[in-house]
Structure 1
Amino acid sequence: METQISIPVATRQFLELADFLKAQGDARDPVLAVQDAIDYWLDNASWKPELLRQAQPSNLGYQWKGLFLPDSTEVRMQYKGDWYYAKVKGDKLIYEGEPITPSRLANTVTGTSRNAWRDLWIKRPADAEWLLADDCRAASEQG
């Protein structure tokens, strides 16, 4: 007897598959359809590059003076009760779809000249909570 493992699939997605199979007149058990999909992927991924997700190098990120912000780092600022968010994508800090510097982000949000180190909060991929940029800078200078 072949052993099996369970792979988590969102209930919504599994039900969509079951509905799709029914609508197509396919009487297969959705579990078997998932197994067939895995077999198809294994048979085709080596010659269909669009089936493979390219792993991004871990050295991507934005260098903000002495502080490195890894790819996927989130940056936020609160101003007049609202939060404004930017994100590091690759080697750029992106705000509203456009590259921006941290200083320009703080100044754009407020319409005045601000100290980004004291106004921006950072959450790197490994961080459990948001940290003030100035605190991140001080920690990176210490070690």
Structure 2
Amino acid sequence: MFATVSVNVAPATLLALMDRMRETGSPADPAEAVDAAIRHWLATSASVPPAEPRGYQWKTLFLPEGTWLRMAYRNDHEYAIVEGDHIMYKGRAVSPNQFASAFADSVRNAWQDISIRMPGEKNWKRASLRRRELARAAADAPPCSVASPPATPAAPAARADLTKSTATIQPLTPSVPRNTGPGQGWTEPERRKYRFRLEDVAFE
């Protein structure tokens, strides 16, 4: 027997569950059906990839969904909020400059005039200050350098083979000089009229 704890369920949800069980003829207890539904949700939600964060990209500053923007002008304040990928002000999507200029009815520097409160924060911070903090953090980050791999020393066996092969190399032995003395028939009369033998000239 497993211990159980109570979970608050909206009355409408519980009634809809009991109506569905009555329609399908399920003999299970409503508490068992709720437990099975929770286990089914846990099993299916684990395979669903997390959704990409949504928000508005203001130059280098990303404003996640739910971020509030506050514009101060002449002791008055006006607010806009990031919904999805847009900044919404009075029911229409605007840029930060459009939000600041629409409220002040003049050309304004949105970075200096708009303060931002991101989701989970309690305090407002000027947009220009957030941008400087982001730039400072990027400048202080260590550079990402790719180190070259160290040179691999030659293996001892390879060095030994190289030394052995170098030691066994012997200089080439000079060939025996060719015999250029007069051969058989050189003293014949028809040969004595030439100063050089043809084979001596060809191999000089």
TM-score between the two structures when normalised by the length of structure 1? 0.62
Mapping for residues 72-111 of structure 1, pairs under 5 Å: 72-79=66-73, 80-90=75-85, 92-111=86-105
Count the aligned residue pairs.
Answer: 131
Q: CA deviation at 1:138?
A: 1.3
Question: How far apart are 1:112 and its partner, in Å?
Answer: 1.2
The structure with more radius of gyration: 2
In the other structure, the counterpart of 2:185 is: none
Gaps of 5+ in 2: 23-28, 138-204
Which letter maps to 1:78? A
The aligned residue for residue 49 of structure 1 is: none
Q: Is the 8 A contact 2:68 2:118 kept in 1?
A: yes
Counterpart-to-counterpart distance in 1, 2:77 and 2:128? 21
Q: CA deviation at 1:105?
A: 0.5
Larger RCO (CA under 8 A, 6+ residues apart): 1
CA 1:66 to 1:20, structure 2 compared with 1: closer, same or farther past 3 Å? closer
1:114 to 94, 99, 108: 108
- State whether structure 2 residue 127 is matched by structure 1 residue 141: no
| Normalised TM-score (structure 2) | 0.47
Q: For 1:23-62, what aligned pairs fall within 5 Å after superposition?
A: 34-35=34-35, 38=38, 55-58=50-53, 60-62=54-56
- 1:20: how far off? 7.2
> What is the distance in 2 between the residues matched to 1:18 and 1:126?
32
RMSD between aligned residues? 3.8
SS in structure 2 opposite 1:114? coil
Per the TM alignment, residue 89 of structure 1 is displaced from its structure 2 partner at its CA by: 1.7
- Contiguous gaps of at least 5 residues in structure 1: 47-52
The structure with the largest strand share of the pair is 1
